[in-house]
Chain A
Amino acid sequence: MSNPVLAQFMTEFLAGRLRLVDLTQTLAPEFPTIVLPPEFGQAWPFRIEEISRYDERGPAWYWNNFSMSEHTGTHFDAPVHWVSGKDLPDNTVDSIPVENFIAAACVIDVSAESAENPDFLLTIDYVKRWEEQHGRIPERAWVLLRTDWSKRVTPKEYLNMAEDGAHSPGPDAEVVPWLIRERNVHGFGTESVGTDAGQAHHLNPPYPCHYFMHGNNRYGLQCLTNLDQLPPQGALIFAAPLKIRNGSGSPLRVMAIVTNG
């Protein structure tokens, strides 16, 4: 027996009243990965080698091998990624309940502030002001930080390295536990290379978004794009990481369903 909700969804979708927005960056070798001090282990960037292309290596078919880390390109962070989440239940990409791969999204637009100040930090006050304008963040929703960072095309602009390291926006150390405690958010997503700000090393605790989100079994999404095509509220996110055994995260295709017009 068909489900009327899904049938109605398909009707709306085919009629163009619902639209899919692709929030994913193209996987390409030159897309930057997070930079750690060189003495630490490093995430592999995306690398691709042709297996065959209708040639002597395979006359009628084209395919590639690729390699990358779990945290390369547009990717999902599971709670186990951070030491604060290491002992939580269902904290790996293969054990996360599949229901958690669909969630609503609130998009907080800080693009103007980020353009002014690449070290812009999202605060509780800022979120409260946003809620005054766009409504309260519902339970179990992704909070996505629109910084327009994805419009920085070159790796240099995107990573925005200076002598003292990367400079990119993110949440401050207070707003993250507040979002979890007060709004019970599903996770936090950004356009930049990490969920934390470029200079988050200097916050207390360092990398608060990783520390608190994963420590509370919440998720992260980073290297998102097209957030400017989403409404502040009302989009639905489909973000299912690859089912990697004990995986700490995974590259994935992130799709948003939005109403048109």
Chain B
Amino acid sequence: MTDPLVKPKKKNPVERTRLPTRPPAPRSRAAQGLTRAAAEGVFEMQTCGDCGALQYPPREVCHQCLSERLVWKDADPRGTLIATTVLRHSNDLYFRERLPWKVGTVKMAAGPSVVAHVHEDCAEGGAVRLALKLDRSGQAVLHALPEKDTPNMNDAPQLRESTCDPKFRRVLVSDGKSAMGLAVARAMLDAGANAVFLGDPTSWKTVKAFDALVASDPRVQPVELDVTDTDSVDRLAASIGGKVEILVNTAAYLRDGGILGRKDVILARDAFEVNVLGMMRLAQAFGPGMGFRAADGSNNAVAWVNILSIHALAALPARGAWSASMAAALSAAQTLRAEFAGAGVRVMNVFPGPIDEEWEQLTPPPKLAPAAVAKAIVQGLQGGLEDVYVGDIAEELRTRLRENHKAVERELGQ
């Protein structure tokens, strides 16, 4: 049984900070199929479209019938742990700092044998379930997990290296006055965050729910933060930048309006100011500090969360300016992901469908409660995901985009 994680002690301010290293990152292009699955938290294996053979490691053609029609399909993650070893030596800096490290061979019920990171609660010879997760280099790795959840299993250090669990971490919620910000803050507290820095972009405005949350839990610290104001962002980073281990950017600007029907680009500019430039400002101010602390103990800086929209992938012309800002934000997030890769800070993008909040008043249901999105964010962090699609509408749109993106374009334009 995994020992529960101990709440990290306050950091000795004169101690040297361990710099981030990352596990071996090179992968073949075919192996990136695993990465895509891991990024979304699904378990898929390369499968032959002709003979149905499942294979691992990923290849260019089917190892049975040599067909090149290889597809990625949901696979049975069950298997038997047939051999294990505990590494007490490694050729790689990242692992050297984390020894001992347990790996093993799992004979999958679906066929192949795989080498996997082995959870400490797995017994050799016993049944396990495999999960694809991203490691600190952002590449997919297989974890052999106990067949059924065990107490505190997410606290196991090896598994925690692949996840971004809010437990005992400090979270900055950039706009804590929005319904989404409040929901995210509550979800982080429930998930065991050590502190929630609750951003206040409108200190002149009283929001009762904000005040109530601040009063309800000593872990909540209100902080002034307006992502459109470089000065404000820099000031906050100078004050708490060294303490932010998960940043959830809840600052959002959503207004109706297309492009041709307006006389100005002010709405678009305001949307970009918050949704795109705001993210960049936060990144420039908080990113370097988070990267520096990416290997700093059990509460290392781990994740950067952007709440985007499924319309980052397909414009909703009725909200054209906003959609454009979402697409730009997604693009910026991809760059951040590349820039954070060296340190191993995960960039998680959240793609919800319509959310039940004031600016979606006229949107017909189904709409997502902010709490549902917040829950998906916490689960995404706990699972170590990179892309989280929330709600039926997001899932449906995603499926339809894969089927025919031109049809989606036409239909959203109606």
Contact = CB atoms under 8 A, between A and B. Distances in A.
Given A41-B266, A42-B270, A29 B204 contact: no
Given A41-B266, A42-B270, A47 B229 contact: yes
Interface in A26-46: 28-30, 32, 35, 39, 41-42, 45
Contact of A29 (B203, B205, B232): B232
Interface in A48-91: 48-49
A17 interface: no
A158 B204 contact: yes
Interface in B70-94: none
B29 to A, nearest CB: 36
B160 to A, nearest CB: 39
A47 B230 contact: yes
A28 B226 CA distance: 13
Contacts, number: 41
B360 interface: no
B206 interface: yes
A146 B266 CA distance: 35
B55 interface: no
A9 B374 CA distance: 67
A156 B204 contact: yes
B35 interface: no
B231 interface: yes
Contacts of A28: 231
The secondary structure that dominates the A interface is loop
Contacts of A45: 228-229
A211 B266 CA distance: 26
A161 interface: yes
B229 A30 contact: yes
Nearest to A159: B204
A154 interface: yes
Nearest to B358: A38
Contacts of B226: 29-30
B206 A29 contact: no
Nearest to A154: B203
Contact of B205 (A41, A158, A161): A161
A159 B255 CA distance: 24
A159 B206 CA distance: 11
Nearest to B202: A155
Contact of A32 (B204, B206, B224, B230): B204
Contacts of B267: 41
24 contacts: A29-B230, A29-B232, A30-B224, A30-B232, A32-B204, A35-B204, A35-B205, A41-B266, A41-B267, A42-B270, A45-B228, A45-B229, A47-B230, A48-B230, A49-B230, A154-B204, A155-B203, A155-B204, A156-B204, A156-B205, A158-B204, A161-B205, A161-B206, A163-B206
Given A32-B204, A154-B203, A161-B206, 12 more contacts: A29-B232, A30-B224, A30-B231, A35-B204, A45-B228, A47-B230, A49-B230, A154-B204, A156-B203, A158-B204, A162-B206, A163-B206
Q: Which 9 A-B pairs have the closest CB atoms?
A: A155-B204, A29-B229, A159-B204, A156-B204, A29-B231, A155-B203, A156-B203, A49-B230, A161-B205
